[in-house]
Structure 1
């Protein structure tokens, strides 16, 4: 959708303030010119004319003083006279720290980017190849939750062109926007795209996406894997695999029992023990909490159940803190 964005310091933009020094200006002139220019910008954005203002808009907004206001804006280079289809018009100054108006080309490009990210024919091979790491900085990205610097995006290596598998990479929000916002090219000159990872890292969102959209099966090796519950009469062979949010497993096989025993109410002699399905079970996303020690700290703030994972020597664990 079209919009016009006024910079935080637009009201004190030096060329605008210099209107006060023009002969005949008084204490009202700066605000008068500012209001005239800003209203022109909003009209331009609404009608997607790419910074160009026709004479009818100028006269409508400027009223009886339109000619004087135009001359003042031209004098300080906020407006530049031009012609469109042979008719008199003006072009607003293009300065992002003053006024930035979304152009038709920008809207078309944003639509292209959005369509690319919604196309499984493109996204499946990209996500399978790159996993959940930014190809610019290798940080692990996230596909859901509030937007932040680690939010997953697709970076088009050739701006303005439709993406292909070879010209698009997974990128974190921070790297993608730093690259796009630097029109000087300095950021890109100082950074290089890492090659695709030899062993991609897959979180649950990508595992689910690949399977649901292409039937591709990959192993989750970051985050907390989803698990199922199996029962057996032998405590050494019984396996309890837990849903997300249950107490995590400690490396080495010893475990912290879940807050609610999935075998509660089982016949005498049955018990459970938490074990790793694979080494990948030991991975956790940053900020998810610490795996507890034998003292009962489980990293999730739930009650620790002692060092043997079976509930003996029960004592309350301290609340885990995220990293």
Structure 2
């Protein structure tokens, strides 16, 4: 591992720890219904959601009722996303007039997003409308992640409570996960990503014309060639995609696309967001079981596994491809701002 790689890795871990610890304790207060930093703004909204939805927030559930609520909510999410895809040609915010994905693709995408697996079998920039991206897939990125967080909190309560069968209220945990944790973090991250150049608009795709040298043109072709640049509300989806450990990006290549991830800072922020909430949950666990040492122990164990496999992966990549040795390809790292990173660069994105 090069010195530069070691510094970046160490800086990443330090930033993750510094953010995960306070976030974890904040999340514990949220799930326990205690006053937190955003309560004066969000508590009235939370109570309004309960009244509007007729949720009895003071009434807890046993594990069977909790599980039924999880499954019912997820099933509704599946049908909404499926229908939104099938009807997208008739829905607004579709400037490219994308037709509906096929029934099997719509089914696969809906199942994938409501289960938080977010596996993509489509290219978002030529398949899915802005309406479906924002109100279908992005919303599922929020609520499917919030559902997983709620289930984890219910599990923690089940481990702690010994004299009751109640493990909380799914609807309350869902609302609090979304309102107090995911929405504020996603808003902050989206603004930071926009500042780095990640696009956020509802404009039609833009056409640009690039001059090409004669040597690059095929015989009989013109000197000018139009290029279509996809647009859309990407930053808002990328933020929750990373924070919720979702896989569904706005564009087909996800964060390898320059409109999703244009700078080294945006790349660092997106990597940090991926592990932030999982790491924070270690400290949430410690706070909720009233034994912070248990949370620290889990975090140390997870970090040890992460570091072990990360170093193994970096070592293998920096070692290069032995088949290239016979081709006189230099795979050694070179110092300096413009030096080669070294190792196996085949298939790597090198912007």
TM range (shorter): under 0.3
More strand by share: 1
Greater Rg by CA: 1
Q: Which has the higher helix share?
A: 2
